[in-house]
Amino acid sequence: MRRYSAFAIAREAARFHTGWERAWRSPEPKKKYDVIIVGAGGHGLATAFYLGKNFGITNVAIIEKGWLGGGNTGRNTTIIRSNYLQDPSAAIYEKARSLYETMSQDLNYNVMFSPRGVMMLAQTQSEIRGYERTAHANALQGVTTEFIGPERVKELVPIINIDGPRYPVLGALWQARGGTGRHDAVAWGYARACSDMGMDIIQKTEVIGVRQEGGKVTGVDTTKGPIDCDKLGLVVAGNSGDLANMAGFRLPMESVALQALVSEPIKPCMDVVVMANTVHGYMSQSDKGEMVIGGGTDGFNNYTQRGSFHHVEETVRALVETFPIVSRLKMLRQWGGIVDVTGDRSPVIGKTPLGNCFINAGWGTGGFKAIPGGGWATAELIAKGEPGPLSAEFGMDRFIEGRFIDESVAAGVAH
Amino acid sequence: MLTLQCPYCGVDAEETELHAEGEAHLKRFGPGSSDDDFETYLFMRENPKGVHFERWRHSNGCGKFFHAARSTTTLEVFGTYSAQTYEPPQDIKDKITAKYPGWSWREFA
């Protein structure tokens, strides 16, 4: 792999950009791999990357039915934060956030991590209490957040209307080290690094069956024929239920559509991420100037990657109230992604009822921010066969034991 | 926008008039049941890609709970039916079979 650098740009400029090489190979699948990861999204690619980097396992295939990073990784609103309430969540999301800080250097790929600060508005008395509690919990967990008053909110976000008629801004939970990243670049950077380690990224190949013998996984059937493996990782977000069905078990999650939209580009007007959970809207401004807006999930199971229109209306209505200047903005694009939501709004990283088959799923509406942490934990799980400290609490057995990691307040709507 | 006909009041209700209430025909387990049964009832879900049976509530209308048969991949609605039943009526199952021969959902087919 030829490194990207300022020197490389100068070199290629001098020879009319003829020397750039493909960022990753697109090989035909081999007969057998040590590990097969199903799903070349952020979490799948990160899992493969840390399998190679942390454990030296590089005989790995990542199988993707579409194109890499084309699912939720390319559809989210790119927010990165770790201000969760429960200890296990804080640990894995903070691990992810800290890995984002050095990701561009680690991958030699600019993921445009921008720690611009994430603000979650408190617009009711109960939200004030909730976020003050989260700020205290974060202090104990070593995650730097603070509860700020309305004056500081206005200072950080001059375009905000803090005296809204229905939902005045009473304060906010502020994580200065949160921010945004370039979602596609995260997938592309990991893919390039994985390919460089000799891993095979097999796109446009759908897994249509999970082969097993004596309660253990032996391989997968794909649209390009059977491929054997010793260990299998299912990292397919919204399609987890479908894959689990092929593997012969059920999951404690359901797939629903989550929507987002972006406006036409405008001049810089907001340099932080603002989330308003009471009115169900959140917004940040991309480097191109578009306002990136996140909406809500539908209440019903859906695999169509299209959501209901009334959520768009609700989200925009809420934002116009909170940010009056956006009222004349035209919306450029609107889209949906399929997210897999668990009962306690926390992910599942753990073993499955099928031997040597592992799962990373259930990130619901907030998987992007967790990509490096989730990949790190899943790689450890697959390499050792047992969960490590980061994923120990996230096994599926927590549902039978009643040991929930309840993040419905932190993760219920906005991401 | 998803439109379902309420089998009680007969109104063609659009989504904003309804509330989705999750998977249909769950067998409920209470105190004294096994851990497995309790977990299955509370948390484990079919989440199928295709034919699905759900509970809905006509919350901004007559208020009644009812069932719907729907495809999660096309959003096609096969029909709605009473909540006072343990299984989908035969005519709805036939309608699904006509379109998707060989379908199955839990113990129904």
Contacts of A400 in chain B (CB under 8 A): 35-36, 39
The answer to whether residue B81 scores a pLDDT higher than 50 is: yes
Mean residue pLDDT of chain A comes to 94
Least confident of A57-66, A387-396, A403-412, B23-32: A403-412
What is residue A409's predicted lDDT score, i.e. its pLDDT?
59
- Domain check: are A103 and A41 in the same one? yes
The answer to whether residue A20 is domain-embedded is no
Look up residue A157 and give its amino acid.
V
**Distance to chain A for B56, nearest Cα, Å:** 9
**Token pair for residue A357?**
């088959």
Instruction: CATH number of the domain at A361, please.
Output: 3.50.50.60
What is residue A111's predicted lDDT score, i.e. its pLDDT?
97
Domain span at residue A136 reads 118-179+255-342
**Distance to chain B for A402, nearest Cα, Å:** 9
- Domain check: are A267 and A200 in the same one? no
Least confident of A287-296, A306-315, A406-415, B75-84: A406-415
- Domain check: are A267 and A240 in the same one? no
Q: Say if CB A179 and CB A118 are below 8 A apart.
A: yes
- Domain check: are A200 and A322 in the same one? no
Mean pLDDT to the nearest integer, A324-345: 93
- Domain check: are A191 and A335 in the same one? no
**How far is the C-alpha of A15 from the C-alpha of B10, rounded, in Å?**
72
CATH 3.40.50.300 fits B3-99, yes or no: no
Instruction: Return the residue in A207, A300, A308, A408 with the most chain B beta carbons within 10 A, the one to mutate for interface testing.
Output: A300
Contacts of A340 in chain B (CB under 8 A): 47
The answer to whether residue A413 scores a pLDDT higher than 80 is: no
- Domain check: are A143 and A230 in the same one? no
Mean pLDDT to the nearest integer, B6-20: 95
- Domain check: are A201 and A314 in the same one? no
The H-assigned helical ranges of A197-290 are: 240-247
**Token pair for residue A272?**
């932080």
Q: Say if CB A406 and CB A344 are below 8 A apart.
A: yes
- Domain check: are A271 and A401 in the same one? no
The answer to whether residue A412 scores a pLDDT higher than 50 is: no
- Domain check: are A327 and A267 in the same one? yes
The answer to whether residue A411 scores a pLDDT higher than 80 is: no
The answer to whether residue A412 is domain-embedded is no
Residue A28, burial from CB neighbour count under 10 angstroms (0-12, 13-18, 19+): exposed
**Token pair for residue A217?**
């996984």
Last residue of a domain, one of A342, A377, A397: A342
**Token pair for residue A6?**
């300022």
Q: Which residues contact A152 (CB under 8 A, 6 or more apart)?
A: A172, A174
pLDDT tens figures, A390-400? 999 999 999 99
Instruction: CATH number of the domain at A164, please.
Output: 3.30.9.10
Number of domains chain A contains = 2
Last residue of a domain, one of A323, A342, A361: A342
Domain boundaries along the sequence of chain B: 3-99
- Domain check: are A289 and A359 in the same one? no
Mean pLDDT to the nearest integer, A192-197: 98
Count, in order, helices (H) and strands (E) of chain A: 12, 18
- Domain check: are A172 and A269 in the same one? yes
pLDDT tens figures, A290-313? 999 998 888 899 999 888 888 899
The answer to whether residue A68 is domain-embedded is yes
- Per-position b or e across A167-187, b if 16+ CB within 10 A of its CB: bebbbbbbbbbbbbbbbbbbb
The answer to whether residue A410 scores a pLDDT higher than 80 is: no
- Domain check: are A246 and A374 in the same one? yes
Last residue of a domain, one of A317, A342, A367: A342
List the one residue out of A410, A259, A299, A389 whose CA is nearest residue A345. Answer: A410
Q: Which residues contact A113 (CB under 8 A, 6 or more apart)?
A: A80, A100, A101, A103, A104, A179, A180, A181
Q: Say if CB A252 and CB A343 are below 8 A apart.
A: yes
Least confident of A232-246, A256-270, A314-328: A314-328
The H-assigned helical ranges of A110-162 are: 125-141, 150-156
The answer to whether residue A214 scores a pLDDT higher than 80 is: yes
| Nearest neighbour of B47 by CB, restricted to A255, A304, A308 | A255
